[in-house]
Amino acid sequence: MKKGVTTLKKLSKILNLSVSTVSRALNDHPDISDETKESVKKLAQSMNYVPNIFAKGFRKSKSNILGVLVPSITHYFHSTILKGILEEASMKGYRVIISESNNDVLQQTEMLNTLTQFGVDGILASLTKKTKNVDSILPVFSKLPVILFDKVSNKIPCTRIITNDEEAAYNVVEHLINIGKKRIAIIKEREFSYNSEKRYTGYLKALKDNNLEIDEKIIISVDDISQQQGKRMTNILLSLKQRPDAIFAITDGAAIGVIQTLKKFNIKIPEEIAVVGFSNNINSTIIEPTLTTVDQPGETLGKTAVKYLIEEIESNTDIVMHKTIELKSSLIIRDSTFRAK
């Protein structure tokens, strides 16, 4: 049997009616008789007719579809944000198209343009960590409402939904100081990563406020903050004449790599070297010892982003909203920094 999509044109041809009459019958237009409505709907149901939401959106200048762009769909924190986005959008009567940039700047621009071409009412975007020049994506922000979340940029005039990365990192370092650690290393991304720089700023501030030395030798920057890099950077830190007594990795993946390397060399955690990660992904409770980390409110962030985007879509003003909403994270203390006696 040949496959084919049932269209308004196909229905109208079978019923010997105009396309506009069939469309109005399906939408219960008062000008269409009950008899015609019944025959149109009966045929549409028998032929599994599904309305073309894009065409419908273009006619009404509103599609009730939100576009979402993330660097990686499989990233744990992004997956929790997406869950919140999908739940809140559904509750407000919106559908969602999700796409990913794979942390590629060119693909990011292409996907933002594609979402615009699809006729979405607005876009929620988390930028690639390599986004330094925003000129290629600024035109999208002048066409429709856009909210940035998680990985954002101060160069783009729009609302940003973020977590309190700087304060959370400050609390991590204070916790390490409170358990007696004084030589605290950090493994972070290079300077153009918004989230990494916020966490690094919190790290530096906590050291300064507690009159601890800032030693460049234990401040490690990498391009790809992964589990493998966590292992490699730990080897470098262990080769130092003065080893750190704590390591703060700005992702859980890297922190797990740190723990694996410390265990390989039989270094006691946290007695000799304590370890802290960031994001509280599922692996942080599986690794031994369990990982102290920062729990970010991903679902709440996703729901908040949708709330602000729909407010902009449904407002009757052309004024571009420009505010930063910062959500609180919390420190989860586990065995990698504290062992109950």
What is the DSSP code string of 79-140? HHHHHHHHHHHHHTT-EEEEEE-TT-HHHHHHHHHHHHHTT-SEEEE---TT----TTTHHH
pLDDT at 61: 63
Q: 276 and 182, same structural domain?
A: yes
Examine residue 116 and state whether it is found in any structural domain, yes or no: yes
Contacting residues for 330 by C-beta, under 8 A, at least 6 apart: 294, 295
**Contact predicate 336/118, CB 8 Å:** no
**Contact predicate 99/72, CB 8 Å:** no
pLDDT in tens, the chain (341 residues): 345 668 888 888 999 999 889 888 888 888 899 999 999 899 988 888 877 665 655 555 688 999 999 999 988 899 999 999 999 999 999 999 999 999 899 999 999 999 988 889 999 999 988 888 888 888 888 888 999 999 998 888 899 999 999 999 999 999 999 999 999 999 999 867 889 999 999 999 999 999 999 999 999 999 888 999 999 999 999 999 999 999 999 999 999 999 999 999 999 999 999 999 999 999 999 999 999 999 999 999 999 999 999 999 988 666 666 899 999 999 999 999 986 55
Q: What's the predicted TM-score (pTM) here?
A: 0.82
pLDDT at 140: 85
Q: 83 and 15, same structural domain?
A: no
Question: Which of 88, 197, 225, 196 is CA-nearest to residue 147?
Answer: 88
Question: Which of 34, 33, 12, 14 is CA-nearest to residue 22?
Answer: 12
Q: 85 and 12, same structural domain?
A: no
State how many domains the chain has. Answer: 3
- Residue 46, CA distances (Å) to 6, 39, 49 in order: 10, 11, 8
Q: 202 and 290, same structural domain?
A: yes
Examine residue 249 and state whether it is found in any structural domain, yes or no: yes
Q: 17: domain range?
A: 8-51
User: Domain containing 97 — which CATH number?
Assistant: 3.40.50.2300
As a whole number of angstroms, the distance between CA 43 and CA 220 comes to: 66
Examine residue 2 and state whether it is found in any structural domain, yes or no: no
Q: 143 and 89, same structural domain?
A: yes
Residue 337 is encoded by which pair of tokens? 């920094």
**Contact predicate 308/147, CB 8 Å:** yes
pLDDT at 182: 96
